[in-house]
Structures are given as structure tokens and as C-alpha cells.
Amino acid sequence: MSSLMAKELDLIEEFRDLSLVCEVTPRSVKLGMLKLINLFLEEIKECQKRDHKLMEKLMPGSEGK
């Protein structure tokens, strides 16, 4: 395998978790957003939604707790 191909594979590996949103027009390609996704952080967010004590603290009217 050539070093250039190895570098390309490394880049593909590094960028596989990127989500690139773009719009293709007849004259151009417009990039709308570059979003980094960390699966660990997504898992934490989902677990926080199921944490009843945390949700109680985040509910309106629970100030001071």
C-alpha cells in the first residue's frame, strides 16, 4: 500500500464520524453545517433523559433544590 493511500485511509478513519450537510445547486455546492458526533456524549444525553432525579431538578418550579 502506498503512503498516499495510507494517509487517505487515515483521513477517512478520522472523519467517519463527521456529518456534513450540503446543498447542491446548478452552479455550486453550499455547505450548511459541519457537525461532529461523539457517540459517548450521545449516550450520556440519552441516559440523562432517563434520570428521574435529574429531570426533577430541571423541571420548572424546582428552583432552589
Per-residue model confidence as pLDDT tens digits over 22-54: 677 788 877 666 666 788 888 888 999 899 888
Q: How wide is the angle at C-alpha 41 spanned by C-alphas 39 and 46, nearest 5°?
A: 95
Specify the pLDDT at position 59: 82
| Domains contained in the chain, number | 1
- Number of residues that this document lists for the chain: 65
Whether 19 maps to a domain, the answer reads yes
Q: Where do the H-state alpha helices sit in the chain? A: 3-15, 39-49, 52-58
* pLDDT value of residue 22: 65
Does some domain include residue 63?
no
pLDDT band at 58 (very low <50, low <70, confident <90, very high): confident
| Inside any domain, residue 64 | no
Within a domain: residue 21? Answer: yes
pLDDT band at residue 20 under the 50/70/90 scheme: low
For residue 23, give its domain range: 3-58
